[in-house]
Structure 1
């Protein structure tokens, strides 16, 4: 039977080979994977160095050396040291802040929202000391209130004031005080969880680094926001939604 235009077109479509992207089932090209891996190594190195020394004491050369990446390759990913710091903040803090929002999305009480965020933040700092170190070191910098965590605390405290759940005379100074409580609690939690010396262990019965430390810290934060002690402690001990699943910010030592 002779071919008709329609039958030839149909056969050509059936014989057409899949496009390269389809043939590899969506796998990214090697160059793209390598570029992503290099960027991750730079971020991981910057995280460890800036947590240890602070952004002002870290150079681009320090970062590329720690990441085992060529100096010139840095500029394929970031324009400057400030650029990688901004990306680092988004990488390690913004996603965590978004996760906290999801965990607290079904809550209507601003006090419970703040308590959950404080408890999860302390828990993560204990699990990931490098993350906690960076949070403490840069938490009082000029960037702090622009971070996701700082913006959430500002928003949630204002929400509580508007709802008359929180009673504060000076919102800004209260926010600074609350932030200081959180950072001091993180530092204490990290220190006592890492220490195994008898001298430090002897201090634990006094309450330092002891049981329910995150809940106790959350209760103090709520009291700073105007809640009575009994109410603050009740809210701080309510069931805690599951721990956030973090897929970034590993910051493990690189094997040479």
Structure 2
């Protein structure tokens, strides 16, 4: 019985945490992160105000955990959107995934808060998208699309995330116009060793439909890393 009670309590804690995350996303999407109040979030989640601090140290930490869930969802959606591209042109998988994500987040006011905190955004994107991005890089190496050794892939991935975060930040603050997603994707492909003309060509194709969001609010980056075991081929 104690083990069963412990399991029930753990499930209840996961459910309450998920309720708070989903409520935070809804409140922050409507009001913006800075203007959002913890009480509005707990009211929407139907939990006591004091309960919030059993799960999160601050509103900023909560916003970071919301970001983790969104990144995980973007990774899953990109896998679905690029499924089948491997048969058409496997070189399209990475630039299409990058452009789908960038096009979506740059148009989302909620991401402006994260874009103005590039250190935070870099850390969460590097970790959250890592299993997806490095899986795709390894597949690109296997197919001869780019020339990277295994020990170069983690560093190349880190640099690719820097480019993505910098691009998001620059568009949000007005240093670059919206619509530069193709150039950002092409720059990343060049980092991977793709010739400039080919990099721009595969970064300029028509984008496929992006599956609708289906966010897993139970997701936690620290204890439940994103998985990218589905093949895009």
Residues 123-150 of structure 1: per-residue CA shift (max 9 Å, x gap): 1122113235436452332x54441x22
Specify the alignment match of 2:156 in structure 1.
174
- Supply the distance in 2 between the matched residues of 1:183 and 1:73 (Cα, whole angstroms): 33
Specify the alignment match of 1:93 in structure 2.
71
Specify the alignment match of 1:221 in structure 2.
188
The 8 Å contact of residues 119 and 215 in structure 1, kept in 2 or not, is answered as yes
CA RMSD, Structure 1 to Structure 2 (Å): 3.7
Written as runs of structure 1 = structure 2, the 5 A alignment for 1:117-136 is: 117-131=97-111, 133-134=113-114, 136=118
Q: SS of the residue aligned with 2:122?
A: coil
The 8 Å contact of residues 20 and 42 in structure 2, kept in 1 or not, is answered as no
Specify the alignment match of 2:41 in structure 1.
67
Larger Cα Rg: Structure 1 or Structure 2? 1
Specify the alignment match of 1:18 in structure 2.
none
Written as runs of structure 1 = structure 2, the 5 A alignment for 1:3-18 is: none
Written as runs of structure 1 = structure 2, the 5 A alignment for 1:29-68 is: 40-44=22-26, 64-65=38-39, 67=41
Unaligned runs of 5+ in 1: 1-34, 53-61, 193-199, 201-207, 249-256
Written as runs of structure 1 = structure 2, the 5 A alignment for 1:181-200 is: 181-192=163-174
The 8 Å contact of residues 215 and 236 in structure 1, kept in 2 or not, is answered as yes
Aligned-pair CA distance for 1:93 = 1.7
CA 1:101–1:51: 2 relative to 1, 3 Å: farther
Q: SS of the residue aligned with 1:140?
A: helix
- Supply the distance in 2 between the matched residues of 1:176 and 1:39 (Cα, whole angstroms): 27
CA 1:152–1:39: 2 relative to 1, 3 Å: closer
Specify the alignment match of 2:10 in structure 1.
none
Q: SS of the residue aligned with 1:237?
A: coil
Specify the alignment match of 1:107 in structure 2.
85
Aligned-pair CA distance for 1:71 = 2.3
The 8 Å contact of residues 181 and 221 in structure 1, kept in 2 or not, is answered as yes
Q: SS of the residue aligned with 1:139?
A: helix
Specify the alignment match of 2:227 in structure 1.
none
TM-score (norm 2): 0.65
The 8 Å contact of residues 50 and 134 in structure 1, kept in 2 or not, is answered as no
Specify the alignment match of 1:79 in structure 2.
55
- Supply the distance in 2 between the matched residues of 1:133 and 1:166 (Cα, whole angstroms): 34
- Supply the distance in 2 between the matched residues of 1:156 and 1:163 (Cα, whole angstroms): 11
Residues 33-85 of structure 1: per-residue CA shift (max 9 Å, x gap): xx987653234457899966xxxxxxxxx96245364422426xx63449956
Query: Within the alignment, does 1:154 sit opposite 2:134 as a pair?
Result: yes
- Report which structure shows greater RCO (CA 8 Å, sep ≥6): 2
The 8 Å contact of residues 126 and 161 in structure 2, kept in 1 or not, is answered as no
Specify the alignment match of 2:177 in structure 1.
209
- Supply the distance in 2 between the matched residues of 1:172 and 1:221 (Cα, whole angstroms): 14
